[in-house]
Each structure stands twice: as structure tokens, then as C-alpha cells.
Amino acid sequence: MRYSYRISGWVTLNSRNKTMKTSFIVAALGSALLILLASCSAKKQESSTMEKISFGRTTEGTEVNLYTLHNKNGMEARITNYGGIVVSLLVPDRDGKLADVVLGFDSLASYVKNSPYFGALVGRYGNRIGKGTFELNGTKFKLAINNGANHLHGGLKGFDKVVWSVDEQQSKPGKLLVLTYLSKDGEEGYPGNLSAKVVYSVTDSNELKIEYTATTDKPTVVNLTHHSYFNLAGAGNGNVLDHELFIDAERFTPVDSGLIPTGELKSVKGTPMDFTAATAIGARINDAYDQLKNGGGYDHNWVLNKAANSFGLAARVYEKTSGRVMEVLTTEPGVQFYSGNFLDGTLTGKGGKQYGHRFGFCLETQHFPDSPNKPQFPPTTLNPGQTLTSTTVYRFSAK
């Protein structure tokens, strides 16, 4: 009995094994299929489920959204496709506490009404073009005049005031936002249909990364930048005069009283423009120096030391109460350091906070202002068949 039991037991077991094997295979195939189907639908969902909420409608009635990007450390950027504006940017301090370090508004209406380029993408040409004119291949172009006698930040309706399309196929929900904009031939006076693409991402190294590309169908001039106003102690928490700034540049481009470069590359040595050793923004801002008078403070382009077109450090800022550090890395040859001189307390920002004089600073990576009229500056001409590429990273840490 025992033997037969064993045998039958073995046989039973064996056949049960077979049944088990078969059912295991069926189950395995089944679950594999399920997993495959699930992952397909998850992928499908992923590519169509951007983390977004409505941010309201423009005056023309176009609905725009607010997209959220974040990383594993809790850093979070909220970006709207109106002007490609970074509306908020949460980064940790030395204790890991998050604060919003960019100035901005709670509502789309405020951005539309009177934003001084808070957080915006700037184009077709970042900063000024003298008298709004330039010549390209023998043809003279006349641009919109919107800053005294000059053209500033792309004109009356620059890239900061248009609705960008979101490419949801190329975007990665929560990680990467792909914005595109077609600037029509003649817009604000510029020649050529310009297809611009900007990819925003938040990396696990606490970086806000901005990658720009552009192509054109006629020769044109392009200079794309980003205009966040930073306050590393948190937006609305006082002015930025105690922030310590390092700029990796031995030279800057002096300007006239209309903030148009004279064309000279001037050494920073012995002037309040020297940030080659980290110095508080406010340490020399009121010095009797003609360039500071022209700018009402710092509002100048620095000529970066790094090799042209190479990706490298432009600037580093440290705020000692929070310990936050921001490094700016770029492929661009210059950076406009603007110390928020036009902020005067009349703007009420996020959470009802008043933005007083110099409550934020900008580090706008760029080609030099007025390059279309300054043949000695790195060129900003884009021709058909060429692709403009440019990358800037704002990298955060704390010490």
C-alpha cells in the first residue's frame, strides 16, 4: 500500500505537477499578457496625462494650463504655456525645507496685465536692439519700438506674451515639458518664419534645465533667454542685496544711457562690475560709477570666460540665511545680470506679497545685446538650413 501509494502518489504528484506546470504556464502567459497590456495602457496614459490644471484664459479667449514638473527630492516647477512662464519653483534649503524662489503672480490676468517678464521665455531677441533696426544681407529691418527709442525682449508682443503649444507626445509627465511656437514672418518686424522649441525639465540633480532650438525659412536674428527673477531666501522675503554673486567673466559690455552696448568689451578689474570673487550684490551697487548710473544698478551683459559655445559655469549665487546656492550653466557666450532695479513696490505678487525695489535678480544667459548692429560680437544670425541650439541649467544646492 505504502509502495503503491508512493507510486500512485508519485504518479498523482507527477500528473499534478504537469497540471501545475500547465496551469503555471497559462497563468504566467496570462499575467505576462496582462502586464504587457497594463504597461501599454500605462504608457498610453503616461504620454497623454500631463500633470496640468487650467490657468485661465488669455484676453483672446485661449485657455492656457499650468504644468507641474518635479523630481525625487521634492523640487517642483510649475510652468504655464502662456509665455512659457515659470510661475513657481520650489527648492530645498540647507534643512531640506522647500521655498518658492521665483517672483511671479497667482493669476494669469496679472501676468497678462503688467508683468516685467517674470519667469518668461524671451524672444525672438532677448534684450535690446538699438533703435529697433538692423541690416541683414543688405536689407534694413525695422522692429517694434517698446523701450524708449529701442527694441526690447522681442517687441510689443514677444515670446513672453504668446501662447506656446505643448507637445504632449514628446513631453514626459512630471519630468519634461516640450513647448513650441511658430513666430510668423514679419512678426514684430522680424524676417522669416521661425520655429522655436523649448524643453523644460527638472532633473534629479535639482536642476531646472532649459533647452532651446530654432529654425527659420529666411535669414533672421535670434537670441532666446529665460527671465526668472530669483530670490533664494524665498520670493517676497526682502531684497536680494545680501545674496553673494560670482560671475565667471573678466569683461562686460558697457552701455550708453539707453542701455545699448557701446561695442566695447571692458575689463571688470577695479570696477563694481567685478564679480570674479563672490561679492554681495548690494556691496557696491550705489557706487558713483557711470555704468551703474546708466543701469540704475546692475543691468549689464557679462562676457563669459568659458570657451565660446562650450557648456560651462556662468555664475553662482549664495544666500546665507537659507544656505541655498544657485549655479547657472550655459552654452551661451554672455549673461545679463539684472538686479531688479525697476521693481518699486507697486507689484503685488504670489500670496499677496509686495515686490519692492531689488526683491529679485535675473541671470539671463544670452548672446550680447544689440549684436545685429555689432559685427564684433558673436553673431546672432540664423539662416535657413541651420538649427540654433542653446542650453541653460539653473542648478540648486545648499550649504
Catalytically active residues are 227, 364
Pick 116 or 173: Cβ nearer ligand GLA: 116
Position 66 contacts ligand GLA (CB under 6 A): no
Q: CA 121 to CA 181: how far, in whole Å? A: 11
Closest CA to 78 of 119, 115, 49, 111: 119
For residues 138 and 140, give the distance between their C-alpha atoms in angstroms, rounded to a whole number: 7
Stretch that binds ligand GLA, among 169-177, 191-199, 321-329, 335-343 (CB under 6 A): 335-343
Nearer to ligand GLA, 231 or 322 (CB): 231
The cell numbers describing 67, all together, are: 504644468
- The nearer residue to ligand GLA, 55 or 298, going by C-beta atoms, is 298
Min. distance of Cβ 300 from ligand GLA in angstroms? 8
Q: Is 83 in the site for ligand GLA (CB under 6 A)?
A: no
- Give the residue nearest to ligand GLA (CB): 338
Q: What is the largest CA-CA distance in the chain?
A: 111
230 lies in the binding site for ligand GLA (CB under 6 A): no
Q: How far is the CB of 127 from ligand GLA (least distance, A)?
A: 5
SS (H, E, C) the chain: CHHHHHHHHHHHHHHHHHHHHHHHHHHHHHHHHHHHHHHHHHHHHHHHCCCEEEEEECCCCCEEEEEEEECCCCCEEEEECECCCEEEEEEECCCCCEEECECCCCCHHHHHHHCCCCCEEECCECCEEHHHEEEECCEEEECCCCECCEEECCCCCCHHHCECEECCCCCECECEEEEEEEECCCHHHCCCCEEEEEEEEEECCCEEEEEEEEEECCCEECECEEECCECCCCCCCCCCCCCEEEECEEEEECECCCCCECCCCEECCCCCCCCCCCEECCCCCCCCCHHHHHHCCCEEEEEECCCCCCCEEEEEEECCCCCEEEEEEECCCEEEEECCCCCCCCEECHHHCEECCCCCEEEEEECCCCHHHCCCCCCCEECCCCCEEEEEEEEEEEC
Least distance (Å) from ligand GLA to the CB of residue 214?
20
- The 288-327 site mask, x for binding ligand GLA (CB under 6 A), equals -----------x----------------------------
Rule CB under 6 A: choose which of 55, 105, 117, 396 binds ligand GLA.
117
- Size of residue set near ligand GLA by CB under 6 A: 11
| Burial (CB count <10 Å: 0-12, 13-18, 19+), residue 69 | buried
Give yes or no for residue 336 binding ligand GLA (CB under 6 A): yes
Of the candidate residues 115, 127, 150, 339, the single one contacting ligand GLA (CB under 6 A): 127
Taking CB under 6 A as the rule, does residue 241 contact ligand GLA?
no
User: C-beta of 242: minimal distance to ligand GLA in Å?
Assistant: 21
CB-nearer residue toward ligand GLA: 173 or 297 = 297
Task: Decide whether 47 or 341 has the Cβ nearer to ligand GLA.
Answer: 341
How many whole angstroms separate alpha carbon 18 and alpha carbon 29? 16
List 86, 194, 362, 382, residue binding ligand GLA (CB under 6 A) = 362
Using the contact rule CB under 6 A, the part of the chain among 8-16, 313-321, 334-342, 391-399 near ligand GLA is 334-342
Q: Which is nearer to ligand GLA, 162 or 343 (CB)?
A: 343
Q: Does 365 bind ligand GLA (CB under 6 A)?
A: no
- Identity of the residue, 116 or 123, whose beta carbon is nearer to ligand GLA in the bound complex: 116
Q: Which of 84, 92, 104, 116 binds ligand GLA (CB under 6 A)?
A: 116
Query: Of the two residues 24 and 342, which places its CB atom closer to ligand GLA in the complex?
Result: 342
Binding site for ligand GLA (CB under 6 A): 116-117, 127, 152, 259, 299, 336, 338, 342, 362, 364
